[in-house]
Chains A and B, each alone.
Chain A
């Protein structure tokens, strides 16, 4: 577990103001630690240039699932206990059905597990709640307070947040 760090947090009550604030903070070269929103906002994801590799993981799982399921079917029906009935081939085309379904099954399951592992979330995980309204109708910009920051830097951040429409500015220890 990484340690929590002190953050300057600007709370907003409007999506447009939030996006505007992100832009002006970035133009001043201030590094935004994170943004918390009650619903997904694509503008925020684009502005922070966030990317995810989950689709690649899913593709990998899919390929693995196809190979693994076929290998299992082949091994059981051809190698381990070959049953001859009606002259039908043992390695048959109808394996496709089970392979198809199991690919979906394994890929879905592994993708979800990956999602939770990457997110470090799971049943009973205690949330590090920054502000109560962030799952309702408010938005937050988190800026990490670094050791090298001068008093001027800090007041600049505060002023900029206020100018761009933050309704509240707090300092709080937050886990990254």
Chain B
């Protein structure tokens, strides 16, 4: 069925295999542009600011954050969930489309997977720092110890998180790297300088491209893909259980796992869209990342946005239907109305209302609009995590416990730091790694050509 011509031409401009290599390798072979250095400088400054904040947190403790006894989770966890969400797209994109045999993934999967790897690193920083005494972080792993030996709590979602996210990081990084090996071999064979040939020769693991290697390569990739696909769903379900298994009003609900998984894919796809529009424009990759590609992502976002709307509505309905005072208070007096109205309605507008504009073909065709909406979605998804965490924690069941939360400079700077790390990752990626999977593009070239 997948052979039907729904998508049209996937690579435009009647390219040859040689042209694909030349086009994809161009940014790596050209002189580094000035804007790259400028952006890198800016990102490094941001990262230094983040490092200052991290040192501050480690040296002085979590007291440097704006947390208190009631609001024990603040920006740290908001940003952790936000980054994990973004980190979902790469694998979701790449793997779901791989096992569904959607050929249009080939132009985008490499960048999306790279994004995943960096985003998961950014995400992992937050819970690590949140532990306070980071030098005891290894306590979370089950190992024979002198405390009994006291094992970790295998029934806690917080432990599941550790297992799931480290597995997710390992699996997506491996999947990304393995997919890259044939392309690194191409870089090695084209390299003019000895140093470059040596480095890419080392990284390409001795790849030659024998028939048997390709068979094993594709089989291993498919197995890895098949294994990682349920992992994508498991990771964010587990993240949602950090909330859902507690008894906080606004958290204790069964809709959380699907709601979080969909939300994660939503924000991740939006980030893919943002990045691909920039990469396409800057490197003139219009023939590879066609309007058809961007159109397909925009359509997916419209659909996911509707699911998000349904999830929000379900939460509100269940709160009302439960007739439980705490739930009703949280939803109707602390989110829809009350102190956090602004954040709640920002979330709804950004995630449910704006993406609906993609129903109009004219808006999907207008890349400036698509770009703006993709950023709006990520802002909306940040606010979603803010709403979930802050509104529930500031006003819990005992009004005596009610507290206010605002982030300190340290927390904000850590977030800025992770944004900068992400940017640095992307910049290194576009400079030193073939941005698109050349071997996969060549594989689909023949069947999607115009003739």
By Cβ-Cβ distance, the 5 closest A-B pairs, closest first, are A125-B206, A137-B17, A40-B214, A137-B18, A105-B167
- Are A101 and B171 neighbours in the complex by a CB distance under 8 Å? no
- Are B211 and A50 neighbours in the complex by a CB distance under 8 Å? yes
Q: Please name 17 pairs of A and B residues whose Cβ atoms are closer than 8 Å in the assembled complex, sorted by A.
A: A34-B210, A34-B211, A38-B439, A39-B440, A39-B443, A52-B216, A55-B223, A94-B155, A95-B154, A101-B234, A108-B224, A109-B174, A111-B227, A116-B205, A125-B205, A135-B209, A136-B190
Among the interface residues B164, B186, B188, which one has the most CB atoms of the partner chain A within 10 A?
A: B164
Give the distance in Å from the alpha carbon of A100 to the alpha carbon of B178 in the complex. 23
Taking the nearest CB of chain B, how far is it from the CB of A89, in angstroms?
Answer: 10
Q: Does B11 contact A (CB under 8 A)?
A: no
- A interface residues with partner B (beta carbon < 8 Å): 15, 34-41, 44-45, 48, 50-52, 54-55, 58, 72-73, 76-77, 80-81, 88, 92, 94-95, 97-98, 100-102, 104-105, 107-109, 111-112, 115-116, 118-130, 132-137
Taking the nearest CB of chain B, how far is it from the CB of A32, in angstroms?
Answer: 9
Known contacts A15-B446, A81-B150, A115-B216: does B202 contact A123 (CB below 8 Å)?
Answer: yes
Known contacts A45-B214, A95-B154, A108-B224: does B188 contact A127 (CB below 8 Å)?
Answer: yes
Chain B contacts of A81 at CB under 8 A?
Answer: 148-151
Q: Does B228 contact A (CB under 8 A)?
A: yes
Which listed residue (A34, A39, A123) contacts B205, Cβ 8 A?
A: A123
Chain A contacts of B202 at CB under 8 A?
Answer: 123-124
- Are B211 and A36 neighbours in the complex by a CB distance under 8 Å? yes
Residue of B nearest to A124 (CB): B202
Q: Does B254 contact A (CB under 8 A)?
A: no
- Are A39 and B439 neighbours in the complex by a CB distance under 8 Å? yes
Known contacts A135-B185, A136-B190: does B220 contact A111 (CB below 8 Å)?
Answer: yes
- B interface residues with partner A (beta carbon < 8 Å): 16-18, 21, 142, 148-151, 154-155, 159-160, 163-164, 167, 170-171, 174, 178, 182, 185-186, 188-190, 201-220, 223-224, 227-228, 230-231, 234, 238, 438-440, 442-443, 446
Chain A contacts of B209 at CB under 8 A?
Answer: 36-38, 134-135
- Are B215 and A45 neighbours in the complex by a CB distance under 8 Å? yes
Specify the main secondary structure of chain B where it touches its partner.
helix
Give the distance in Å from the alpha carbon of A92 to the alpha carbon of B160 in the complex. 14
Taking the nearest CB of chain B, how far is it from the CB of A90, in angstroms?
Answer: 10
Give the distance in Å from the alpha carbon of A125 to the alpha carbon of B163 in the complex. 32
Give the distance in Å from the alpha carbon of A70 to the alpha carbon of B143 in the complex. 16
Which listed residue (B155, B190, B205) contacts A121, Cβ 8 A?
A: B205
Known contacts A52-B215, A55-B219, A58-B223: does B170 contact A98 (CB below 8 Å)?
Answer: no
Taking the nearest CB of chain A, how far is it from the CB of B24, in angstroms?
Answer: 11
Which listed residue (B167, B188, B203, B213) contacts A104, Cβ 8 A?
A: B167
Give the distance in Å from the alpha carbon of A80 to the alpha carbon of B231 in the complex. 29
Chain B contacts of A112 at CB under 8 A?
Answer: 174, 178, 220, 224
Which listed residue (B154, B171, B174, B190) contacts A73, Cβ 8 A?
A: B154
Known: A38-B182, A98-B163. 5 other contacts (CB 8 A): A50-B212, A52-B216, A105-B163, A112-B220, A136-B186
- Are A128 and B208 neighbours in the complex by a CB distance under 8 Å? yes
Give the distance in Å from the alpha carbon of A123 to the alpha carbon of B231 in the complex. 27
Chain B contacts of A128 at CB under 8 A?
Answer: 206, 208
- Are B442 and A39 neighbours in the complex by a CB distance under 8 Å? yes
- Are A127 and B206 neighbours in the complex by a CB distance under 8 Å? yes
Give the distance in Å from the alpha carbon of A100 to the alpha carbon of B233 in the complex. 12
- Are B215 and A50 neighbours in the complex by a CB distance under 8 Å? yes
- Are B218 and A40 neighbours in the complex by a CB distance under 8 Å? yes
Taking the nearest CB of chain A, how far is it from the CB of B172, in angstroms?
Answer: 10
- Are A52 and B219 neighbours in the complex by a CB distance under 8 Å? yes
Chain B contacts of A72 at CB under 8 A?
Answer: 142
Chain A contacts of B159 at CB under 8 A?
Answer: 98
- Are B17 and A38 neighbours in the complex by a CB distance under 8 Å? yes
Give the distance in Å from the alpha carbon of A128 to the alpha carbon of B207 in the complex. 8
Known contacts A108-B224, A111-B223, A127-B188: does B151 contact A80 (CB below 8 Å)?
Answer: yes
Residue of B nearest to A40 (CB): B214
Give the distance in Å from the alpha carbon of A134 to the alpha carbon of B170 in the complex. 31
